[in-house]
Structure 1
Amino acid sequence: MGGIVERPGDGNDAEAVAAAPVRRFPPLITFSIVGTFLILLCGALYLGRALVLPIILALLLALTFMPTVRGLARRGIPEAISAILIIVMIGGMSLAASVLLAGPVTQLIEEAPRTISALREKFSYSGGTVSALIEASKQVEEMADGPDAPDKPAKVVIAQPGILSWAADTLSGIGSTLAATFVLAAFLLASGDLFLQKVVRILPTLHDKKRSVRIVHDVEFEVSRYLLTISVINICFGVIIGLAMAAFGMPNPVMWGIAAAALNFVPYLGALVAVALVAATAIVTYPTLTMAAFPPVAYLIINLAEGTVITPLILGRRLELNAVVILIALAFCGWLWGIVGVLIAVPMLVVIKVFCDHLPRLANFGEFLSGAAPAAVDAAPSAEGERPAVAGDRRDRA
């Protein structure tokens, strides 16, 4: 039967064991097994998102701040104290942002029907034909439902929750997820190198131990550098957007700044959503369309400057990702985990790419995720049989 390994009876004969034939599964069966596993994995991630999301977020936080905790430990500050201080700082920033956003977001949701009505009035000249078609359709339905029409079964309409109830449920779910994330991240950071030490102990050779330590430290360094840098860039971007919206007289500039910082974690789609929201609010706020064009155009110019000049200049092209892969990851994580999944899709891709770049067997997949040109690779491999040195690696800089 396919997949069964045939071994000789004498277990002491090493040569015979090494030469024993290995019969593999046919490609179709292998593909079916892998496909079934992936479908079951997606179902498990979807159904278990209440458990999976806090774990993934906590791991991202641990990868981001573990080098900081390790550096403070070398200066005599215990890991537990560093972890608590970091989590308190992040939790305080999240709480402050929630407090600042509570009032403007509630007001924005309450005024949504009025805003939609105002937009319809602004563009009423282009909606005449559509309105006429809708009115004609209603008249046809009334004629069909007249007294001479045959009896029809009664329509049952299920009342849907209002937008305020949906927003409250969404925010409460995000709040509980963040609370679990902060607790788990605090324990991960406070544990220091405990898990790494356990992995090192179970590895068989000294070469594997050294290699695993170096890989883990390099991955932590690159992921921490990327996530911290991109977070600082997004915060500065949000401050600039908030000041620009205040200069143009847009309502709730603080809300626009915080929303811009959060949406900037979502490449491409975040900018499109933000520009559309700014444009809709500006059209309702300003009396003419010419004046209403300035805020979204300013947002777009600032976003283009940040995405095409500032971020590549600071981070370089080393961790640039494939645009198609980014869009697929955004759609997939958004379907799995909603808003939080969209926000963490790109950081997760970066972590996966960094791991692939440090593991020779996954180097091809890492190159597939990359959006930059292939890096210059030395022709000769290292003496220890590891992956070739890539220009820009931390080891080369050291």
Structure 2
Amino acid sequence: MRVEQSERVEPRPRPSSLDRIRRAAEPSLERQRVRLLAGLTLMAGVGLLLGLPFALRAGAEFLLPVTAAMVIAIALVPLLEWLERRRVPSGIAAFLCLFIFLVIANAALASIVVPATEWFQSLPERIPQIQANLAPVIDFYSNLQKFVDDTVQMLAKGPVAAAQASAVRAPASIMDYVSSAPHAAIQLFFGILVVYFFLCGWTRLRERTITSRGSFGGALATARVIQDVVDSTSAYLGTITLINVTLGLLVSAALWLIGMPSPLMWGGIVALLNYIPYIGPILAAILLALGGLMTFSDVWLALTPAAIQIGLHIVEANAVTPTILGKRLTINPLLILLSLSFWGWVWGTPGALLAVPLLIIIQTIAGAAGKPDIAGFLFEEGTLVARSPDPGDPDD
């Protein structure tokens, strides 16, 4: 009898109707709470995205040199780590990296700036020659020009005084540019300091960031993101720099063969503008066409420099660059165009030069942190977090 009593199971009380309703409502309430939090997060993110461009433009004097210095420093990290592996102290290694970069950058700028100043000074004297080369085109559009002039005179309500441009002495060296723009010199010096101190503390900063994670998985993910950002940025900038320098040297050699003055200057301009996707090569072709019209009396020979640059750029953009960069650094052209438009609008020409490196950094971080699932929030799940695929789910 004792065994039978011990094995007897007491019947559970049946849940009331109120308990059943509460249990059925709990998933719905939780779903509504998650959707509300996701909606608030989405609104905050949209507000941040709308206000960020204006904040970047307003703080361009500080944010632009800092951003440019950070991108340059990230690109120099592999050289820094190579020196540190050979037991070079961090401070000396950072100084050597910065010194090498400044020597190369100043030599490249000097080869462009000083000859370009002479071309700029001689531009007023070459205008008649440019007009003579373009005489057939000018004659063709003479009737259109006359119509425009007559229309302007008819719409004008008063005499228009022609503004006389004052003669300004063009700088003859980089030091003249620095002395004529002390504010830019201060920003340049500030950017150099940011690069140096970033490289000095890179190893300690990376170790501190990784070891401060609460778990081994978090530390491993952080280390992977840091390494991916460094590898992608330095690989892209290093490869593109090598391609652009080679393109500039080829253009210089071709211009030297046809007798174009200052071929190294034109090659440097082509190499520098080639950092700006889509727009840079077009600007380089326009400048070369203008330089050819200033130099040669035959219009077809004057357009030859621009034709050379366009032909070499087509080969570089469609065969050389995709082959060397490969699929790992392939970027959606639409994203490149949007990034170029955004950063060019925010920071002008420097922003256009930084557009692709910043896009690579943002893409790398976003790929590791996870992208928001806006389509799922609007149409299906109701959350901004993408649902991870379930191996047992036949729909995935």
Q: TM-score range by the shorter chain?
A: 0.7 to 0.9
Aligned CA distance change for structure 1 residues 131 and 257 (closer, same or farther; 3 Å): same
* TM-score for both structures, normalised by structure 2: 0.75
Per the alignment, residue 132 of structure 1 pairs with 146
Measure how far apart 1:34 and its partner are.
Answer: 3.3
Match of residue 13 from structure 1: none
Q: Distance in 1 between matches of 2:225 and 2:329?
A: 17
1:362 maps onto 2:371 in alignment: yes
How far apart in 2 are the matches of 1:261 and 1:241?
A: 9
Is the Cα contact below 8 Å between 2:232 and 2:360 reproduced in 1?
no
Report the Cα offset of residue 263 of structure 1: 0.7
- Residue 54 of structure 1 aligns with which residue? 65
Matched, 1:91 2:105: no
Match of 2:294 among 281, 284, 293: 284
Name the SS for the 1:221 alignment partner. Answer: helix
AA matched with 2:49: L
What letter matches 1:56 in structure 2?
T
Q: What corresponds to 1:104 in structure 2? A: 115
Three-state SS of the structure 2 residue aligned to 1:362 is coil
Q: Indicate if the aligned counterparts of 1:69 and 1:192 stay in contact, CA closer than 8 A.
A: no
| Pairwise CA RMSD | 3.6
CA contact (8 A) 2:232 2:329 kept: no
2:33 corresponds to:
22
Q: Deviations 1:291-315 (Å, cap 9, x if unpaired)?
A: 2232211111111111111122211
How far apart are the structure 2 equivalents of 1:175 and 1:254?
26
Measure the CA separation in 2 of the matches of 1:75 and 1:27: 50
Q: Which residue of 2 aligns with 1:41?
A: 52
Gaps of 5+ in 1: 1-17, 146-153, 366-378, 383-398
- Give the aligned partner of residue 251 of structure 1: 261
> Matches of residues 191-340 of structure 1 in structure 2 within 5 Å?
191-340=201-350
Distance in 2 (CA, whole Å) between partners of 1:62 and 1:316 is 24
Query: Relative contact order (alpha carbons < 8 A, sep ≥ 6): 1 or 2 greater?
Result: 2
Q: What CA distance in whole angstroms lies between the structure 2 residues aligned with 1:249 and 1:287?
A: 13
- For residues 124-203 of structure 1, what are the structure 2 equivalents within 5 Å? 124-137=138-151, 140=154, 175-203=185-213
Secondary structure at the aligned position of 1:111 is classed as: helix
Change (3 A) 1:31 1:41: same
- Give the number of equivalent residue pairs: 343
Contact 1:223 1:354 in 2 (8 A): no
CA distance in 1, matches of 2:263, 2:304: 15
After TM superposition, give the deviation of residue 282 of structure 1 in Å: 1.3
State how far apart, in whole Å, the 2-side matches of 1:267 and 1:48 are: 25
Who wins on radius of gyration, i.e. which is larger? 2
Q: CA deviation at 1:102?
A: 3.0
- Counting aligned pairs with the same residue, the percent is 25
Alignment TM-score, normalising by the size of structure 1: 0.75
C-alpha separation in 1, matches of 2:146 and 2:206: 68
Name stretches of at least 5 consecutive residues in structure 2 with no aligned partner.
Answer: 1-28, 375-387, 392-396
Q: Distance in 2 between matches of 1:129 and 1:261?
A: 39
